[in-house]
Amino acid sequence: MASSAVLNADMRKGLIHKEIYGHFSEHLGRGIYEGIWVGEDSPIPNTKGIRNDVLKALQRINIPVLRWPGGCFADDYHWEDGIGPRETRKRMINKLWGGAVENNHFGTHEFMMLCELLGCDAYINGNVGSGTVREMSEWVEYLTFGGESPMSSMRAANGRTEPWTVKYWGVGNENWGCGGNMRPEYYADLYRQYQTYVRNYGDNKLQRIACGPNGNDYRWMEVLMREASSFMDSITLHYYTILGPDWENKGDATGFNTDEWFTTLGQALHMDELITRHSAIMDQYDPDQRIGLIVDEWGTWYNREPGSMPGYLYQQNSIRDALVAGVTLNIFHRHNNRVRMANIAQMVNVLQALILTEGERMLLTPTYHVFDMFKVHQDAERVEFTCESEAYRHNGRDIPAVSASASVDQEGIIHISLCNLNHADNHDLTIDLRGLDERIGELVVSGTILAATEIDAHNTFEQPDQVVPQPFNAFVLEGSKLSVQLPPMSVAVLEIKQQAAKA
């Protein structure tokens, strides 16, 4: 198979917001407890209760923003249950996710400490479904107010005198479903009320985020933009890549066949249509594109792993998931004018996780490696990259064989991310490099690739390095033509530098 592409290095298309590489961690299964929080007395090495191996891995990929405490859990969560001495915090049953005991040992202070250790911004989802306006308002005050008040005094009594910086605030989550089963008209009015009391204190300027639609619910987007767009900074979109015909039979994370491979990647590509159509609605009410679209839940969702706890949403992660991640991130890049943030679901041990743990053991998934490879796009400028991809055909259906995007960083280095979706065939891609300043010097190209020989290749605790990045050099540069041969089911990142000629 062969395709051609044109890169116009001098045609800049705006910032690829680093927040597109955001993450999400919910009180769900082993996502928080064991995955992130082990407690200060744990034999697992930790920093103030945060496990060190996970922390180090997350620091490496430059996480820009972390969303918490949910998800559906957010509209069941009452923040005052998670502050104060841990031994006196309320214990509860997590009715949403598996009936586990929630001891509230990981609460506001622990989350903000995690964000500080990661060097990332905090994105907190407030409770609209079962909470109150006062509860949300006081949580914002507890976190961000530096003056004298009952909330700032309570924060100081719990060990934190100075207020935190909180940049993002979600007013409810999935209020069309687990967050209250609301109609869009009703939620729009509630949103207008609640956001009024999500106040800015001192230098802290919150971005207020409205609960947007589920997948292709274009009416929800229409109503929210019509009734509340002047009161929001961003609005969310949720979309999961589901293999099976319905939510009760979502397919398996491993052991699948080539038809299921093809279907999954086709479902992932649907993200482009969703963003395009939702953006068109937003443009009617926000032609200046002031309001950001935040895809704060995305990723693959399969049946739980055999033997794992019901409701914990634990699943393996294969080279197929790496392709879903690469394809989706490329789509976000191409929609950088609207998509200001995205949060993969979820960070550790849940759904399309970057990291899996089992007691004291930890492994990095193929999805983690894509985030590591693609981090070069964070806060880089998108450059025009047009790819005329041949079709990848399977059982009478077809999708584009190649997904791609490109950016240039502050040092002038160009990065091209490429995905070959075909499970069986190499793909030859010829890239015409245009708009480069030839006076700077000759081009130097290098690359990294993530690939596998089995469609469900994945890392295990016994063999954690089955799918890991490798140096990539299957390309030839002749003048301004770069010919690349992508192996089947692979994700690659090329780096193009202009090296000054020697005097």
What amino acid positions are annotated as catalytic residues? 174, 297
If DSSP codes are grouped into helix, strand and coil, which group holds residue 377?
Answer: helix
Rounded CA gap, 310 and 318, in Å? 21
* Residues sharing a CB contact under 8 Å with residue 365, sequence separation 6 or more, in sequence order: 317, 321, 353, 354, 355, 356, 458, 459
Residue 336's φ and ψ, nearest 5 degrees, are -65, -15
Q: Which helix (H) or strand (E) holds 190?
A: helix 184-196
The answer to whether 46 touches 39, Cβ cutoff 8 Å, is: yes
* Residues sharing a CB contact under 8 Å with residue 339, sequence separation 6 or more, in sequence order: 17, 20, 275, 292, 293, 294, 295, 332
Rounded CA gap, 229 and 52, in Å? 42
Cβ neighbours of 464 (radius 10 Å): 15
What DSSP state is assigned to residue 37? B
Please classify residue 52 by burial: count the beta carbons closer than 10 Å to its beta carbon, then call 0-12 exposed, 13-18 middle and 19+ buried.
Answer: middle
Nearest C-alpha neighbor of 356 from the set 343, 346, 370, 371: 346
Q: Which amino acid type is present at position 243?
A: L
Rounded CA gap, 486 and 253, in Å? 24
Q: Which amino acid type is present at position 427?
A: H
If DSSP codes are grouped into helix, strand and coil, which group holds residue 250?
Answer: coil
Q: For residue 275, give both structure tokens.
A: 């963003």
Nearest C-alpha neighbor of 75 from the set 130, 157, 27: 130
The answer to whether 105 touches 46, Cβ cutoff 8 Å, is: no
Nearest C-alpha neighbor of 302 from the set 354, 372, 254, 239: 254
The answer to whether 179 touches 75, Cβ cutoff 8 Å, is: yes
Rounded CA gap, 344 and 295, in Å? 8
Rounded CA gap, 474 and 456, in Å? 24
The answer to whether 483 touches 428, Cβ cutoff 8 Å, is: yes
Nearest C-alpha neighbor of 399 from the set 331, 349, 314, 484: 331
The answer to whether 373 touches 469, Cβ cutoff 8 Å, is: yes
